[in-house]
Amino acid sequence: MNTIVGITFLCTLIRGIASKSDAFTSIHDIKQILHKERVLTRYLNLAIEAEKERLGELEGMRDSMKMKLLNLNISSMDDYVGNPLNALHTIRRFTADWNEITNTLNTTRVQEFFNEWDRNVKLPTLEDQKGAVSGILRLQNFYKINTRNVSRGFLSSTNPISKTEEIGVGLMWAMGYEAFKQKEWFLMKEWLDLALERIGDLEQSDGCKRSWIVDFLSYAEFQLGDYERSLDLAYQCLEYSPDDQKHHNNIEQCKKKISKGRKKSSTKPVEQLRYQLCRGEGMRKPTIDEELQMVCWYKNDQPILRYKPQKVERLWARPEIVMFRELLNDEQTGTLIDLSLQKLVRAGLNGQDVTSEKYTNSRVAKHAWLSMKESPIIRNMGKRAQAMTNLNMKYAEHLQIANYGIGGHYDAHYDYQTGENVFPDLKTGNRIATLMYYLSDVEAGGGTAFTFGKTTVYPSKGDAVFWWNLKQNGKVDESSKHAGCPVLMGQKWIANWWIHEYGQEFRRPCPLDKTL
């Protein structure tokens, strides 16, 4: 018997007895009370047994959760969440395992648990799980990761230590369904094939029905041109829902394709250049003239740089990409991250905040804005940035701290804006240059790919990369197009300073050659 039902029935009986205030006036009534007392004892026994069963279930759930967190401590949490699969499993536990636990708990006796449940941290929802699943699919696309390896808990074949728990059939289905929404037919097929293999002859497992898998797998095979298998799966769908006209229509479509002799397609679509650059492939070999410009030096032409000259390295000639080395130490990077934690919100495009209804998967990160007034560290950074870049920092935007999520990335974009009225809220002209600090090292992925220059810059903690967004003549520099590569392993924290045109008239004057 359900525990709550049993307790409710007991309370109803007790209230019925208590409502009779004249029982003592009749022996018959006392006899009736004795009968009710026997019934109460029986229902009390049932309620206790149900409670024991419920507590047994909770103990099993607790032991399962403790096993999953057995080797996790505060010092290892960064490494743990740095693996996207671990991050996905964490979200999954809150949308599945913890949800089951809260439904099993008797809320009248564990109010402290629910008080803690609602305290401080915003817990993940199904929308978070969808975003995490999308991030894993993105990593597969960018870094060509084998689906079966991912299902077994591996994101990196070169680092077996990074293995996590295996993916269950429920998440396999979620992967396939998300791939369907993104029209990633190859990934959809691979995940649903694994889901069908895992569920076997069971009709339902891990919140997923076999009929769902067969139905969507049939669609994936149709899209990929394997009409024979699509037809076979469509017939299986018909067994589950004989009266569903959709399956009859699908069968007819497959038969028509087969009769026309259409062949299976195994060719994947041509991938975008940034995918290759993020993997370190497709890099352009610099010319001899460019190699001569890719040099290192110490910059000490400003008073602030006399005591501690700035290490500079030109990483690329066109577009010009410069790295300022050893700018921040661990304490400073940690302080900047700590200052941002309470302000982090989901980031939109071109640095503008967006609501949950308007955000785009073109950028998956959270950011916060810090002014120079908030910390002496930021003020000192501003002074040194002005000396390093020879640009006026007075009209720079606030320092933006960004942290990337599961498969966190930023599609290829320009930092400048186009049109008559750029950055109208700031009224300081366009973004003339970008100075991006790396606040963390990234174990794998997370580079910045320049699609025009065909090169990639990888994070190095404490350093800052600099490039121009506008030419000297004030026109936009299309060679500055860049993309934030997905973080494959580890955490990516950066700080962006976008420097604007205002105040640069004498610091970067227009050249005599109008084409520059």
Q: Of 107-116, 282-291, 379-388, which gets the smallest average pLDDT?
A: 107-116
Q: What burial letters (b/e) apply to 410-441, b meaning 16+ CB within 10 Å?
A: bebbbbbeeeeebbeeeebbbbbbbbbbbbbe
- pLDDT value of position 14: 44
- pLDDT value of position 354: 36
- pLDDT value of position 157: 61
CATH number for domain 282-500, candidates 3.40.50.300, 2.60.120.620, 3.40.50.720, 3.90.1300.10? 2.60.120.620
| Mean pLDDT for the stretch of residues 211-224 | 96
pTM summary value: 0.84
Mean per-residue pLDDT over the chain, rounded: 86
**Residue 176 · residue 195 · CB < 8 Å:** yes
Nearest to 328 by CA among 426, 459, 477, 203: 459
The structure tokens listed for 36 are 């009710």
Between 355 and 443, whose confidence is greater? 443
Between 312 and 156, whose confidence is greater? 312
DSSP 258-326: HHTT-----PPPPPPHHHHHHTT-SPPPPPHHHHHH--EEEE--SHHHHHSPEEEEEEETTTTEEEEES
| Mean pLDDT for the stretch of residues 427-433 | 96
pLDDT at 330 over 60: yes
126-259 is classed CATH 1.25.40.10: yes
Q: What pLDDT, in 10s, does the model give residues 218-246?
A: 999 999 999 999 999 999 999 999 999 99
**DSSP designation for 353:** B
What percent of the chain is modeled with pLDDT above 70?
Answer: 84
**Residue with tokens 């669609």, as numbered in its chain:** 219
- Measured distance CA(441)–CA(459) in Å, rounded: 6
**Burial environment of residue 320 by CB neighbours within 10 A (0 to 12, 13 to 18, 19 or more):** middle
Exposure of 408 in the CB half-sphere (CA atoms within 13 A): 28
The structure tokens listed for 166 are 């295996």
pLDDT at 351 over 70: no
Nearest to 313 by CA among 327, 332, 301, 303: 327
Dmax over CA atoms of the chain, in Å, equals 116
- pLDDT value of position 21: 44
- pLDDT value of position 40: 67
Nearest to 176 by CA among 230, 136, 227, 127: 136
Q: What pLDDT, in 10s, does the model give residues 457-507?
A: 999 999 999 999 999 999 999 999 999 999 999 899 999 999 999 999 999
Q: Of 32-41, 291-300, 386-395, which gets the smallest average pLDDT?
A: 32-41
DSSP 155-177: S-TT-GGG--PPPPHHHHHHHHH
CA dihedral for 257, 258, 259, 265, sign (positive or negative): positive
pLDDT at 511 over 70: yes
pLDDT at 28 over 60: no
- pLDDT value of position 444: 92
Residues 6+ apart with CB under 8 A from 186: 224, 268
Between 83 and 210, whose confidence is greater? 210
CA angle 432, 438, 443 (to 5 degrees): 135
- pLDDT value of position 18: 43
Label residue 346 by pLDDT band (50, 70, 90): confident
